[in-house]
Amino acid sequence: MSRVDLKVDLNGLTLKNPVTVASGTFGFGREFTDYLDLNILGGIMVKGLTLEERKGNPTPRVSETPMGMINSVGLQNPGVEYFVKEELPFLKQFDTKVIVNINGNTIEEYCKIAEILSKTSVDSMELNISCPNVKRGGVSFGREPEMVYEVTNKVRQYCDKHLIVKLSPNVKDIKEIAIAAEKGGADCISLINTVIGMAIDIENQTTVLARGMGGLSGPAIKPIAVRMVYEAANSVSIPVIGMGGIMNYRDAIEFFLAGANAISIGTANLINPWVAREVIDGIKEYIKTKGYGSIKEIIGKVRIPSL
Amino acid sequence: MNKNYICKIVHNTEITAGIHKIVIEKPKDLGKVKAGQFFNLKSGEEEYPLLRRPISVSIIDDETLTFLINKVGKGTMLLCSKNKGEYIDILGPLGNGFNLDIEKNNVLVVGGGMGVAPLLELVKQLSLKDDIDIKVMLGYSDIPFMVEDFKEFVDDLIVASEKKEFDYKGYVTEPLKQELQNKKYDHIFACGPKPMLKVVKNLGEENDIPVQLLMEERMACGMGACLVCTCKVKKGEDDWNYVRTCKEGPVFYGEEVIFDE
Ligand SMILES: Cc1cc2nc3c(=O)[nH]c(=O)nc-3n(C[C@H](O)[C@H](O)[C@H](O)COP(=O)(O)OP(=O)(O)OC[C@H]3O[C@@H](n4cnc5c(N)ncnc54)[C@H](O)[C@@H]3O)c2cc1C
Ligand SMILES: Cc1cc2nc3c(=O)[nH]c(=O)nc-3n(C[C@H](O)[C@H](O)[C@H](O)COP(=O)(O)O)c2cc1C
Ligand code: FES
- Per-domain residue ranges of chain B: 3-94, 106-253
Q: Which of A73, A28, A74, A77 shows the shortest CA–CA distance to A52? A: A77
Q: In whole angstroms, how far apart are CA A4 and each of A72, A273, B49? A: 40, 25, 35
pLDDT at residue A1 is higher than 60: no
pLDDT at residue B1 is higher than 60: no
Average pLDDT over residues A43-50: 97
A25 within ligand 2 shell (Cβ under 6 A): yes
Residue B80, CB-side half-sphere exposure with 13 Å CA sphere: 20
Average pLDDT over residues A14-19: 98
Average pLDDT over residues B80-94: 96
Q: How far is A258 from chain B (nearest CA, A)?
A: 23
Q: Is B220 on the interface with A (CB under 8 A)?
A: yes
pLDDT tens per residue across span B183-223: 999 999 999 999 999 999 999 999 999 999 999 999 999 99
Mean pLDDT of chain B: 94
**Is A31–B225 a contact, with Cβ atoms under 8 angstroms apart?**
yes
SS3 B248: coil
Res B2: pLDDT: 64
Q: Work out the pLDDT band at B114, boundaries 50, 70, 90.
A: very high
Res A39: pLDDT: 98
Average pLDDT over residues B136-143: 95
CATH class of B106-253: alpha beta
pLDDT at residue A33 is higher than 70: yes
* Distance in Å, CA B10 to ligand 1 centroid: 23
B231 within ligand 3 shell (Cβ under 6 A): no
What fold, for A8-298?
TIM Barrel (3.20.20)
What fold, for B3-94?
Elongation Factor Tu (Ef-tu); domain 3 (2.40.30)
Per-domain boundaries in chain A:
8-298
The alpha-helical segments, DSSP class H, found in chain A are: 80-82, 88-91, 107-118, 145-158, 174-184, 222-233, 249-258, 268-271, 275-289
pLDDT at residue B151 is higher than 60: yes
B221 within ligand 3 shell (Cβ under 6 A): yes
pLDDT > 70 in chain B, percent: 99
Q: Work out the pLDDT band at B261, boundaries 50, 70, 90.
A: low
Residue A134 is given by DSSP the state G
pLDDT tens per residue across span A57-68: 999 999 999 999
Please calculate the CA angle A189-A228-A215 and round it to the nearest 5 degrees. 85
